[in-house]
Amino acid sequence: MFFLPKPFRDIFSLGLSSVVSRAILFIRESFLAASLGPNSYGIWVQIIVILNYSLHLPLGYQHILSRDVPFYRGRNDNDSASDIIISAFWVTIITAVIASLTLIALIATKRLFSLSLQNAIVLGLVIIAQQYNGFQSITLRAYEKFSYFSIGLTLIGCFSFLGAILFSNKMGASGALIGQGIALVLISFWWFNYLPKNINIRLPIQKVARNIFILWSTAVPLFIGGLANFLVTSLDRLIASLAYSSIDIGYYGFAFALTQSIHLVTIPVAQAFHPRMMRVYGQEKNLSSLLPYLKIFMDFLPITILITLGFIGIAASFAIPLWLPEYEKSIPILNILIIAAAPLAIAGGSQTILVALQKEKLVMWSTVIALGLQSLVYGGCILLDFDIKGLAWAVVISFTLFGLWFAYFSIYSLYQSNRKTLLMMTYLFGVILIYSAFFMLLIEIEWIKKQLFLSFLWKILVWTVLATPIILLWFPKIKFLLGQESANR
């Protein structure tokens, strides 16, 4: 691994920590489901839902921290970077405390969730610890200290699992939550040693308040855009859970869960390249410095996702009939949802470019409009009585339009040329169309599907034809792009 360029080493480190931590959390969830029983495990699920939604508490300031600190580092403007870090810190802590006290009051008065007061108090404290831990993790990534972040992420999973074993048997869901809180606190103490030393959080309150107010107009669009984007990518599951039978929901949810493994590719790439991109942009102070990252986010990454998910689809279509035959009907849904992953990756990369160019209001309004149109499309699926595969195809169409919309604005913003934008958009649409056609070959060929082993060989052949030219063509290109990135250091 040490012979690889540093960006690849960072991606490997981030990816490995994601795989290990997710595996540990899966084992923890299996342990808790078995040891707590359905009733107590239901309480734990409520707790997890609250913790997941509390990630949006910093009101967009976490996005400013992630975007602007690397940018000012590239300009050697440590004072501006420090002001943003301090503002994000105080917003994170204040919103966490307010949300925790509000949550405890609502639960105590029986107005929200069926949790006990003891669980509510512990949950409030864990939310504060989680928010501070999240602030530290973003700051470490902004300073490109990926190895410390990766180790810490893995240790959080290990310690939370150990805490669940030690405390859940006697204290139930509250004990598992205490284990999670202890894990967050321990890693926060360790991460504290690697935060930048030139940050003074004891600034006069007037200056902190002024900085928070100045950043407010940027933070709000980032917050709304991030929340709307979360809803865009999760609305299909909400619709499925409301409008379809429990068995269809099970098939769809299982297929969706398999496609989520692609985050093991996309998240490490985004985490590794985003701070680099902003630092280089701050150094060069021109749009051309972002072009290599545009190619990575919108060319290399979507194709890599298609190849990876294609392999997952092949493996799943072979393994599911053997080991989980009751989920065999989820395979066609899985193959459809795989097609939606590439344009969604294009949308994510395009949004990253637009936010880097300080076009967060465009991202916000476009995402909100897309959410409204998506709601109409999915609602139409219900009114027209589409089956669950029809909903999956609606997701493909929705995500394709979503990705191409953002791709247009990000490409035009960098090239400032209608001709180049049109050429690249045509290329992107062609890639999605051609690779979607390849995946269609994996879905409906009845005479092959009846023979499991023959079906497996056919899919391996299609995947090989799909993957080989891309691997041969793109490895030299990505090495060149990373060489450009290294030269900019």
pLDDT tens for 393-415 read: 999 899 989 988 998 998 898 88
The confidence score (pLDDT) of residue 447 equals 45
Residue 128 lies in a domain: yes
Q: Assess whether 399 and 289 both reside in one domain.
A: yes
Share of the chain above pLDDT 70, in %: 82
Note the Cα 35 to chain centre separation in Å: 30
Say if residue 66 is in the same domain as residue 208. Answer: yes
3-state secondary structure of 223: helix
Question: Is 334 inside a domain boundary?
Answer: yes
Taking residues 68-91, what's their average pLDDT? 90
What integer is the mean pLDDT of 106-133?
83
d(CA 481, CA 295): 9
Sign, CA dihedral 349-352-356-359, equals: positive
Residues 210 and 272 placed together within one structural domain of the fold: no
Distance CA(368)–CA(328), nearest Å, equals 36
Residue 465's pLDDT is 61
In a domain, residue 224? The reply is no
Phi-psi region of 76 (alpha: psi -120 to 50; beta: other; left: phi over 0): left
Are 269 and 11 in contact by the 8 Å Cβ rule? The answer is yes
CA angle 242, 264, 408 (to 5 degrees): 75
User: Do residue 237 and residue 198 come from a single domain?
Assistant: no
In-domain check, residue 473: yes
Q: Which residue has the higher pLDDT, 470 or 343?
A: 343
What does the pLDDT average to over 50-70? 88
pLDDT of residue 392: 92
Looking at residue 450, its pLDDT comes to 53
Section 354-367 average pLDDT: 90
Which element (helix H / strand E) includes 325?
Answer: none
Average confidence score pLDDT of the chain: 81
pLDDT at residue 332, rounded to an integer: 83
Q: How far apart, in whole angstroms, are the C-alpha atoms of residue 167 and residue 134?
A: 24
Alpha carbon 38 to chain centroid, angstroms = 29
Instruction: State whether 253 and 279 are in the same domain.
Output: yes
Q: Is there a single domain that holds both residue 279 and residue 379?
A: yes
The answer to whether residues 139 and 124 touch, using CB atoms and an 8 Å cutoff, is no
Mean pLDDT of 238-264: 79
Of 161, 184, 219, the position where a domain reaches its end is: 219
Task: Please indicate, yes or no, whether residues 195 and 248 belong to a single structural domain of this protein.
Answer: no
Q: What is the pLDDT of residue 161?
A: 92
pLDDT top residue among 445 and 180: 180
Say whether pTM exceeds 0.85.
Answer: no
The span from the CA of 459 to the CA of 449, in Å, is: 10
Q: How many domains does the chain have?
A: 2
| Whether residue 151 is found in the same domain as residue 179 | yes
Indicate if the pLDDT at residue 440 is higher than 80.
no
Is residue 441 a part of any domain in this protein? yes
Q: Determine contact, residues 431/302, Cβ cutoff 8 Å.
A: yes
Last residue in a domain, options 170, 194, 219: 219
Q: Note whether residue 228 is domain-resident.
A: no
213 and 72 in one domain? yes
Task: Reply yes or no on whether the pLDDT at 367 is more than 90.
Answer: yes
> Which of residues 312 and 416 earns the better pLDDT score?
416
Asked if 126 and 160 sit in the same domain, the reply is yes
Q: Give the domain-ending residue among 187, 219, 251.
A: 219
Q: Please check the confidence at residue 337 and state whether its pLDDT lies above 50.
A: yes
pLDDT value, residue 459: 61
Decide: residue 56, CB within 10 A, 0-12 exposed, 13-18 middle, 19+ buried: middle
pLDDT score for 64: 92
Q: Is residue 225 part of a domain?
A: no
Q: What is the mean pLDDT of residues 118-131?
A: 90
For residue 446, pLDDT over 50 is answered with no
What values do phi and psi take at 201, rounded to 5?
A: -80, -5
Please tell me whether residues 179 and 272 are part of one structural domain. no
Greater pLDDT, 441 or 183: 183
Residues 6+ apart with CB under 8 A from 341: 259, 262, 305, 306, 309
Same domain, 316 and 211: no
Structural domain boundaries, residue 182:
1-219
